[in-house]
A and B are shown apart, each in its own frame.
Chain A
Amino acid sequence: MKRLLSVLLSLLTVSLSLVGCGVREVGEHLTFYCLESEKTFYQTLFNGYNSYCLADDDRGTQAQVGFVTFENENELNAKLSAELMSGGGPDVMLTGQRLPFEKMMNAERFADLDKLLEEIGEKIDLDNYEEKVMEAGVWNGKRYILPVTFSVRTIFGERKLLKELGYSEKAGSAFTYSDSDKLDSLLKSKDGYLLYRGGYVDPSAMIGDFVDFKNKTFDFDTDEFRNALESFKKLSEYTKSKTEKVEDVYTIPSVFTTVSYGAMQVAWMFCNSDENHDGGAKEYTVYKGMQRKAEDVIANVELGVLINKNTANPKACAHLVNYMLSEVAQNRFTNPNGQSDVGGMPVNKKSFVRRLRDVTEFEGDYSFSIDKLDPLLVDYIDIAQSVTACDIYDHYSPTYYETNVIGRPLEKYLRGEIGIDKFIRQLSSATKLYMEE
């Protein structure tokens, strides 16, 4: 009897331990994984869509996006990895999440959005969207990423300070990585100023510009890269020395400011007076950059949507994609009052024009004249309308490659623990391994 009892107890223990191993079924709604701390932001993002779902029986609550939250990034990534591997995982992912998207696209982890839209009899009419930005979502001939909003890489220089420093490049000219001499001279000539404020001075983002993940190549063994790296290191040290004892960095005048927003927010910040940003439109000049080639206009996807290939509900996902492409959704994401959900400019051309009109409070239809806009905004739009290339990342949030692959050697280099030669060797080795794995 004793023996039988112990056997039964053991069996019960094993059975109970297996209770958690459920099978993924068609859920009540689409799922999106995020950190608990980010939930509010993403809720705002998907609120509009969830309301839109309720307006149509075909979509209903099943097409709404629900949240699965995690305490920390490690927990999220572990869960994500395990679930994706077992054929599950969230239905919806966004480019702002720190995942190795280039590797995942190579492994065909995402649904081809063109095919997905066929589920509901829709298709993307590319004439209605910003061409180069939409192209960024195509990988190995399949459209895996849907860019919803984008920004162009620009730097805003304060005219008064630029004049003092003798920097006289005209608006729209480029600030390239090769301009390290200019950078150095500006750095040395004006003590007490910050050269930059904003996200674009991050060396890891600069390094990312020298890597082509689609063609699996990188240009670390060039003078251009070496000079850029040294400049960024000096800049990093300079900024640190100027800011480490200051409580509020905004009290230090900054020659250049980089913003991660699109035209609408730019207009709101620089063209309209704002108590947080002293000075009006006339005090700023917009430049392209930082970038590698002067002739390029680089765009960055601010919000991009990806759909898990394992999704149990492709039809609902297709509704989400369709909504994201719509003018309604894109207007919502690019609210011109500076308090938008996402930021950036809409890829939907109609929405783009509408938002510009809203910014300038121009009365009229879509055929308004651009000349009536503020000069700074005109310069910015000139840049934004001639995009030559687009990156799938937003250029200011650290990517998986920047943190997990090159983060460790870069940190050592910036701390001065290793020299530039050794760093470039480590960087090349890690990048090569990452791309080839």
Chain B
Amino acid sequence: MKRKTRESVAALLFILPSLLGIIVFYVVPYVMSLWRSFFVGDSFAGLTNYLDLFTSYTFLLALRNTAVFTLTGVPLLMVLSFLIALFLNSFERVAAFFRSALLIPVVIPVASLISVWQVLFEDYGAVNGLLNSLGFEGVEFFNSGFSMVMIVLIYVWKHCGFCVILFSAGIASVPKSCIESARLDGAAKGKIVTRIIIPSITPTTFFVLLMSLIYSFKIYREVFALFGDYPNENVYFLQNFVNNNYYNLNYPRLSAASVVLSVFIIAVLIAAFKLSKKREV
């Protein structure tokens, strides 16, 4: 056996345990779930579960809320953290302090974070107290259309610091000479940002996008801590739907929903990868 072949075999053998783990704990359950999604009870039902799913009020509601949250939360987080990173890069003296301060929400446990928001935004919280003292009526932040705004804000607040760090690193890696040359050529600040900085940090932007998407799918923890298993209809997400169907032991629907959710996540990630490749070209 040639040395190269021997090394490949050894490498494969090293990978094998992890690969087996992935196959047994991820691939096999996924295929089983896909298979079960075509059954109701023990009888083969074809696409019935999927058809039921797409006519189900709760699933469509969850899908809509998840899409609204992802499409507002992720861009907002990215734009805001990019702008903050840009700002901090211009003021290096204070940058270190603000970067550390922005990281605090990342390390705070979910329960503490939720407590802070409850103190602020509950019916008898600080914000409503302020509104009342100014003569305005209180707002039910956690039981109205504002709930989605609250969740988006929590998401942005919690993850902004980390994204700022990533963007700051990306911006810092842009060659200063390019920016200086553009300045000497008379380029305005806006042009420098859009024509030099943004194209130069495409890999960073893609990574931040990826992380933001992953974080957006993890927002269920905060939603659960605030609202429990059954939140109001404005913040009922796909994760709620899947989780509740698991506890309700409704497997045909759970399997179909899990497959749809995974397809949704894969589609979003493929789109992000494609976009990144396009930008790199």
* Residue numbers in B under 8 Å from A3 (CB-CB): 10
How would residues 210 to 222 of chain B score, 1 for a CB under 8 Å from any chain A CB and 0 otherwise? Answer: 0000000000000
Asked if A429 and B247 make an inter-chain contact with CB atoms under 8 angstroms apart, the answer reads no
Min CB distance, A97 to chain B, in Å? 12
Residue of B nearest to A100 (CB): B248
Size class of the B contact interface (CB-based, 8 Å): 35 or more
* Residue numbers in A under 8 Å from B41 (CB-CB): 107-109, 309
Min CB distance, A90 to chain B, in Å? 12
How would residues 399 to 437 of chain A score, 1 for a CB under 8 Å from any chain B CB and 0 otherwise? Answer: 000001110100000000010001001100110111011
Asked if B249 and A99 make an inter-chain contact with CB atoms under 8 angstroms apart, the answer reads yes
The residues in B between 1 and 47 inclusive whose CB is less than 8 angstroms from any CB of A are 10, 13-14, 16-17, 20-21, 24, 32, 36, 40-42
Q: Tell me which of A77, A108, A433 contacts B247 (CB under 8 A).
A: A77
The binding surface of chain B is classed by DSSP as helix
Asked if B16 and A11 make an inter-chain contact with CB atoms under 8 angstroms apart, the answer reads yes
Asked if A437 and B253 make an inter-chain contact with CB atoms under 8 angstroms apart, the answer reads yes
* Residue numbers in B under 8 Å from A404 (CB-CB): 229, 247
Known: A11-B17, A108-B41. A426 touches B245 (CB 8 A): no
How many residues belonging to A are interface residues under a CB distance threshold of 8 Å? 40
Q: Tell me which of B123, B233, B247 contacts A81 (CB under 8 A).
A: B247
- The answer, yes or no, to whether B100 is at the interface (CB within 8 Å) is no
- The answer, yes or no, to whether B180 is at the interface (CB within 8 Å) is no
The residues in A between 194 and 216 inclusive whose CB is less than 8 angstroms from any CB of B are none
For the complex, what is the distance from the CA of A108 to the CA of B45, rounded to whole Å? 13
* Residue numbers in B under 8 Å from A84 (CB-CB): 249, 251
Which 9 residue pairs are nearest across A and B when measured between Cβ atoms?
A108-B41, A430-B230, A10-B17, A103-B248, A436-B58, A7-B13, A408-B228, A107-B250, A14-B17
10 A-B residue pairs with Cβ-Cβ distance under 8 Å, sorted by A, are: A7-B10, A11-B16, A13-B17, A100-B248, A109-B41, A405-B229, A408-B228, A422-B123, A433-B58, A434-B244
Interface, chain A (partner B; CB < 8 A): 3, 6-7, 10-11, 13-14, 17-18, 21, 77, 80-81, 84-86, 99-100, 103-104, 106-109, 309, 404-406, 408, 418, 422, 425-426, 429-430, 432-434, 436-437
Interface, chain B (partner A; CB < 8 A): 10, 13-14, 16-17, 20-21, 24, 32, 36, 40-42, 56-58, 123, 140, 143, 228-233, 236, 241, 244-254
